Amino acid sequence: MKLNFAENIAFYETGDGSNTLINKVTNETYHSKHGAVQESMHVFIKTGLDFVLGNRHRPLKILEVGFGTGLNALLTADYNCVEPFVYHALEPFLVPLDMISNTNYTRYLNQKHLKDYLVAQYKKQTELELNPMTLYLGNCEVKIFNTRLEEFETDLKYDLIYYDAFSRHSQQEMWEGETIEKIVSLLAPGGVFVTYSVTGNLKRAIRDLGLVVERLTGAPGKREMLRAIKPSL
């Protein structure tokens, strides 16, 4: 499966001034149109990462579904660059280097982390087909797996999952059935799942798998978001 980035993907300036990408065929953006950086900070960093810091095993293990531009990984490293953590991200359609380097994220991010990220991307695209690609952002090891969640295999269980799939509107299969069962099975006991989307079906599916579900205030422009916690053993 290949995505033609030059033809199908364009930049889109969001409400907080930060760019995201838009798929011109599905009209789906990679982040909220109200603010890309604002949404990532609210949903994944403040409601996810900040919540688990301080009460989890070390190193903290994080899984992101839908790596996209890498914004969530970079914001995570910037927020928590003192403590080491393991960050695994899944992405079947790796965004090309020229698109990543032309986002205007420089204004919002640690310059050293951004440079390390771009150099690693450059190596991947010019030297080897590395899968997973590993990069180091400060103390943090980030591995990007060029795969779909459905095919991802690991023995690890994660303390924190950033679920950043495209919306139900364009990828319904990501929000129900076996896909939700799979992502919940990858959470460690006590682990935390966060996502920008809340629907009745998603809440029910996650509750039925034994998690405690919270509906919290969403990023600006969205009424709600979801955080769910897997009970400790």
Ligand X SMILES: C[S@@+](CC[C@H](N)C(=O)[O-])C[C@H]1O[C@@H](n2cnc3c(N)ncnc32)[C@H](O)[C@@H]1O
Residue 145 within binding range of ligand X, rule CB under 6 A: no
Closest CA to 35 of 112, 105, 90, 106: 105
Report the residue from 15, 59, 92, 190 that binds ligand X according to the rule CB under 6 A: 92
Residue 35 sits in the site that holds ligand X (CB under 6 A): no
Instruction: Say how far apart CA 164 and CA 193 lie, in whole Å.
Output: 11
Number of residues near ligand X (by CB under 6 A): 18
Binder of ligand X out of 9, 22, 71, 161 (CB under 6 A): 71
Kindly tell me which of 51 and 152 has the beta carbon lying closer to ligand X: 152
Among 9, 109, 114, 165, binds ligand X (CB under 6 A): 165
User: Is residue 114 close enough to count as binding ligand X by CB under 6 A?
Assistant: no
Rounded-to-integer distance, Cα 102 and Cα 211, Å:
39
Candidate residues 72, 76, 195, 197; the one interacting with ligand X per rule CB under 6 A: 72
166 binds ligand X (CB under 6 A): yes
Q: Does 90 bind ligand X (CB under 6 A)?
A: yes
Of 86-94, 124-132, 186-194, 212-220, which part binds ligand X (CB under 6 A)? Answer: 86-94
Quick check: 91 binds ligand X (CB under 6 A)? Answer: yes
Residue 180 interacts with ligand X (CB under 6 A): yes or no: no
- Residues binding ligand X (CB under 6 A): 30, 65-69, 71-72, 90-93, 148-150, 164-166
